[in-house]
Chains A and B, each alone.
Chain A
């Protein structure tokens, strides 16, 4: 059954004589200006962006700045639970806030393949608008390029983000200490399996949805509970296994995990079993893993559970002195195995 979405009424496709993107939309001429004024500004407009200068000039609070950039090339553009638009906002917001920073401003650059339907672009801009509102950030500058058909695949988006790191917060993959607890904010592998099972060519039906979401609200809660978080990352490409290996290598410590403690949704686990994929290596886009001193672990977990993004937060393991640089899993049967870095490309273009 077709469901009516009120947003489709409030944001109709802007009036334009073209149904698809033309090379001239990236020319810098009249069509470029029309694309900006009719499509981009109504979605992202704010005092700074509306000036349409070549750069954004913004006020910045005193302190340390966190800066990140990320390019989004996900295929397909739309997948269960999200699309390239909200992914491009959430991914960069999350990279900024994993330093403990409050994300403030974003820049967005679009590389569009000639012939992209206007309605597709509009749908993506609407979901970006929703994502920036949810994260409480602004897009203050941007760029649009159009390339010949075949020179990129439909649409690539780059977003750059800046934020302010609060005083007294020092979060780094090199900060792990023996005895620290590893906290995971929720179930893993949703995003990667949503992309994989929605790919063309894979005759596989599932109800797996991407977890794409911004995590800055959750991080704020965690920092209120304790400012002594040692390390924090959102385990995207390469999954939880890769992030923990990066932690272990950077800090020259070992990490021990409990097999049963890492949650995987039943439908995600089913898809992983059928396709022979280990969820530990599958991408997430709305989860974080934090390493905190043992004495504040329970407090941080409680704070996380009070936030919608951290309802299933749990301690999944700890930092040890043995096995420097390795992540070891205690299996359900009481044996051990290494959880290694992945080799090769498990799945291209997931974000």
Chain B
């Protein structure tokens, strides 16, 4: 398949791995921010192939994982209303809230539907004028333009029965928070290629400068990731700290201006709670006041729902790169994909789910392989 196969080419990947092995002279800790990267690394076993000195730390870039419990609880409360058709991407349906998930709400009688695009939800609103159609709009900067477009489309068509339950988060404030944390060990970053397709990489330049870390915008196929790592490592070994772009086929420095304008029209930047991490300043998007009739949170009066979280779950530490998923005492015991305690075990991009899915057998677990390599 064009534009996919060349980025999965084993020969090219092996050449990149050889180059990485040649230039690495000491241990380095690199974080991939994006859950899409984490998933691709685990699926292709890239962590098993890297030299033992390189430690990959998984970042908080899974929108499902950092969506606060109160958003899930609000979603469940709205979905339970008889007039509501509640729509969402599939991943969000299984995420546990305080007491219930959207799937559980569905089996209890709520009209919950999985859609592949927010515009499908707009179409549902058009087809069901007597019902309230709500779309759960989660994600990073990547999905914000599509969700903003859906809202504007509904407004143009005067579909007053359409609203968004919005829970958008922004990447740069999260990187700032991680780099400012006293326990930070991360020395270089792979920045998320999809987010930067929309936003460009300008806003990463002050971070690279202030914290003196190399940041490389990286794509999602194995060859992309290895090339991105090679670029970070070249900078680290040379003592440089710049923003570089590996994902040139998709990302420019300015990003997609039209998409940015739509996001800015509909959303305003606010402080936001990240599940497992806490409130980060100016890290989220909320629907602007002039679009209040399309804001499900205000429409259904669910702003004040309070929450309860599992005490066993260490997903906050996982999301901050402080521990690896399999160091959590609940991993694979109380917490499995069938009975997730935290969202990191639910989402396809969650670090815990990726570890459980691809590497829970001891002989190939990355930390064990690494220790074997050290012994050898």
Residues in A with CB closer than 8 Å to B123 are 201
Residues in B with CB closer than 8 Å to A273 are 1, 4
0/1 interface trace, chain B 1-19, chain A, CB 8 Å (1 if under) = 1001000101001100000
Q: Is the CB of A201 within 8 A of B120?
A: yes
Q: Find the A residue at minimum CB distance from B336.
A: A343
Q: Is the CB of A275 within 8 A of B8?
A: no
Complex CA–CA separation, A269 to B363 (angstroms): 30
**Min distance, Cβ A264 to any Cβ of chain B, angstroms:** 10
Q: Is the CB of A323 within 8 A of B348?
A: no
Complex CA–CA separation, A252 to B1 (angstroms): 37
Q: Find the A residue at minimum CB distance from B36.
A: A276
Interface residues on chain B, number (Cβ under 8 Å) = 32
Complex CA–CA separation, A57 to B8 (angstroms): 59
Residues in A with CB closer than 8 Å to B364 are 328, 335-338
Q: Select one of A201, A332, A338 contacting B10, CB under 8 A.
A: A332
Complex CA–CA separation, A344 to B96 (angstroms): 13
Complex CA–CA separation, A189 to B358 (angstroms): 21
Interface residues on chain A, number (Cβ under 8 Å) = 25
Q: Select one of A202, A328, A333 contacting B46, CB under 8 A.
A: A333
Q: Is the CB of A340 within 8 A of B46?
A: no
Complex CA–CA separation, A165 to B360 (angstroms): 39
**Min distance, Cβ B121 to any Cβ of chain A, angstroms:** 10
Q: Select one of B1, B49, B115 contacting A334, CB under 8 A.
A: B49
Among B37-45, B177-185, B305-313, which stretch is in contact with chain A? B37-45
Q: Does residue A167 face the partner (Cβ distance < 8 Å to B)?
A: no
> Among residues 92 to 110 in chain B, which have CB atoms less than 8 Å away from a CB atom of chain A?
94, 103
Q: Select one of A203, A337, A343 contacting B358, CB under 8 A.
A: A337
Complex CA–CA separation, A343 to B348 (angstroms): 11
Q: Is the CB of B48 within 8 A of A335?
A: yes
Q: Does residue A128 face the partner (Cβ distance < 8 Å to B)?
A: no
Interface centre among B44, B103, B115, B361, by most chain A C-beta atoms within 10 angstroms, is B361
0/1 interface trace, chain B 336-370, chain A, CB 8 Å (1 if under) = 01100000000010000000111111011000000
Residues in A with CB closer than 8 Å to B359 are 337-338
Complex CA–CA separation, A351 to B356 (angstroms): 29
Q: Does residue A270 face the partner (Cβ distance < 8 Å to B)?
A: yes
**Min distance, Cβ B266 to any Cβ of chain A, angstroms:** 23
Complex CA–CA separation, A340 to B361 (angstroms): 11
0/1 interface trace, chain A 322-349, chain B, CB 8 Å (1 if under) = 1100101001111111101001100000
Residues in B with CB closer than 8 Å to A338 are 357-361, 364
Q: Does residue A63 face the partner (Cβ distance < 8 Å to B)?
A: no
Q: Is the CB of B44 within 8 A of A340?
A: no
Residues in A with CB closer than 8 Å to B8 are 332
Q: Does residue A61 face the partner (Cβ distance < 8 Å to B)?
A: no
Complex CA–CA separation, A336 to B48 (angstroms): 8
Q: Is the CB of B357 within 8 A of A333?
A: no
**Min distance, Cβ A277 to any Cβ of chain B, angstroms:** 10
0/1 interface trace, chain B 152-194, chain A, CB 8 Å (1 if under) = 0000000000000000000000000000000000000000000
Complex CA–CA separation, A334 to B123 (angstroms): 46
* Contact A336-B1, Cβ < 8 Å, known A322-B363, A326-B361, A343-B338: no
Residues in B with CB closer than 8 Å to A270 are 1
Q: Select one of B1, B338, B348 contacting A269, CB under 8 A.
A: B1
Residues in A with CB closer than 8 Å to B117 are 203
Q: Does residue B139 face the partner (Cβ distance < 8 Å to A)?
A: no
Complex CA–CA separation, A202 to B363 (angstroms): 41
**Min distance, Cβ A181 to any Cβ of chain B, angstroms:** 22
Q: Is the CB of B44 within 8 A of A275?
A: no
Residues in A with CB closer than 8 Å to B48 are 335-336
Complex CA–CA separation, A333 to B20 (angstroms): 15
Residues in B with CB closer than 8 Å to A12 are none
Residues in A with CB closer than 8 Å to B360 are 338
Residues in A with CB closer than 8 Å to B13 are 333
Q: Is the CB of B120 within 8 A of A335?
A: no
Q: Does residue A266 face the partner (Cβ distance < 8 Å to B)?
A: yes
**Min distance, Cβ B225 to any Cβ of chain A, angstroms:** 11
Q: Does residue B59 face the partner (Cβ distance < 8 Å to A)?
A: no
Residues in A with CB closer than 8 Å to B14 are 333-334
**Min distance, Cβ A189 to any Cβ of chain B, angstroms:** 14
